[in-house]
Amino acid sequence: MAFKGKRTKAARATIDRKKTYSIDEAVALVKSNATAKFDETIEIAMNLAVDPRHADQMVRGVVNLPSGSGRSARVAVFARDAKAEEAKKAGADIVGAEDLMEQVLKGDINFDRVIATPDMMAIVGRLGKVLGPRGMMPNPKVGTVTQNVAEAIGAAKGGAVEFRVEKAGILHAGIGKASFDEAAIGANVRAFLKAVMQAKPSGAKGGYLKKISLTSTMGPGIVIDISEAST
């Protein structure tokens, strides 16, 4: 514990709490402070001036990270017949229909993303209370309700990250690994910020962005200059 305390104190000493950093500066600091013995996840957190309780202020979308996410997502697909075979060939980890629904209802959720063909939504709709709070409910707006299951699976496994604003306007996501080089992390940060800006809802008035910070799993947060989100 003493070592952990010293490491945390040393990391915080490299940061000026009164300053906002450029993306490149923040990335360099986060990467240099990611000194754990495992490959830490690089995470972005945003505070948005929205209230997701109102439908016209919901922020949700998906972004294909140019450098990948650094993790292999387990994908479940609700499909039948030819589409089920297509999903299996495309690398889906779990494929099913009513049987998969029963598995989810029992709490056996050993996957990260859910994709469904449109005809399966009558079944998937019953799982809203289970998948919804986990941010896994398929949605055509983010490409997870589709006939092109192979493309959706490829995106999910190739670096596509889905985001959704939570209570108090907080939005966060893992966007890479500390082992990525600075250019790769920076490219992912910029792609994520662009996607969130493009997802600005009609009900968002005034300043949409309130705060952006970047951190690693074990490192301190570093505040990014808001103006960087629109460049």
Q: Are residues 64 and 93 in the same domain?
A: no
Q: Are residues 63 and 177 in the same domain?
A: yes
Q: Which of 138, 157, 176 is the last residue of a domain?
A: 157
User: What's the whole-number average pLDDT of the chain?
Assistant: 90
Q: Are residues 95 and 135 in the same domain?
A: yes
Q: In terms of residue numbers, what domain contains 36?
A: 16-68+161-230
Q: Which of 108, 132, 157 is the last residue of a domain?
A: 157
Q: Are residues 42 and 84 in the same domain?
A: no
* pLDDT for residue 222: 95
For 182-201, how does the pLDDT look when each residue is reduced to its tens digit (9 = 90+)? 999 999 999 999 999 999 99
* pLDDT for residue 3: 47
**Number of domains the chain is built from:** 2
Whether residue 10 lies inside any domain: the answer is: no
d(CA 179, CA 88): 31
* pLDDT for residue 7: 59
pTM of the entire structure? 0.77
DSSP bridge pairs for 223: 213
Q: Are residues 52 and 79 in the same domain?
A: no
Q: Are residues 166 and 152 in the same domain?
A: no
For 117-162, how does the pLDDT look when each residue is reduced to its tens digit (9 = 90+)? 999 999 999 999 999 888 899 999 888 999 999 999 998 888 888 8
DSSP E strand stretches across 12-155: 41-48, 60-64, 75-78, 94-96, 113-116
Percentage of the chain beyond pLDDT 90 is 71
Q: Judge whether residue 2 has pLDDT over 60.
A: no
Residue 89, domain CATH: 3.40.50.790
For 53-106, how does the pLDDT look when each residue is reduced to its tens digit (9 = 90+)? 998 999 988 898 999 888 878 999 999 999 999 999 999 999 999 999 999 999
Whether residue 86 lies inside any domain: the answer is: yes
* pLDDT for residue 205: 80
| Residue listed under structure tokens 């496994």 | 157
Q: Are residues 167 and 129 in the same domain?
A: no
| Residue listed under structure tokens 């915080």 | 12
113: left (phi over 0), alpha (psi -120 to 50) or beta: beta
Taking a C-beta distance cutoff of 8 angstroms, is the pair 184, 67 a contact? yes
Q: Are residues 165 and 152 in the same domain?
A: no
Q: Which of 128, 157, 186 is the last residue of a domain?
A: 157
Instruction: Select from 218, 212, 203 the least CA-distant residue to 50.
Output: 203
Instruction: List the alpha helices (DSSP H) in 16-172.
Output: 23-33, 81-89, 98-105, 121-124, 128-131, 149-158
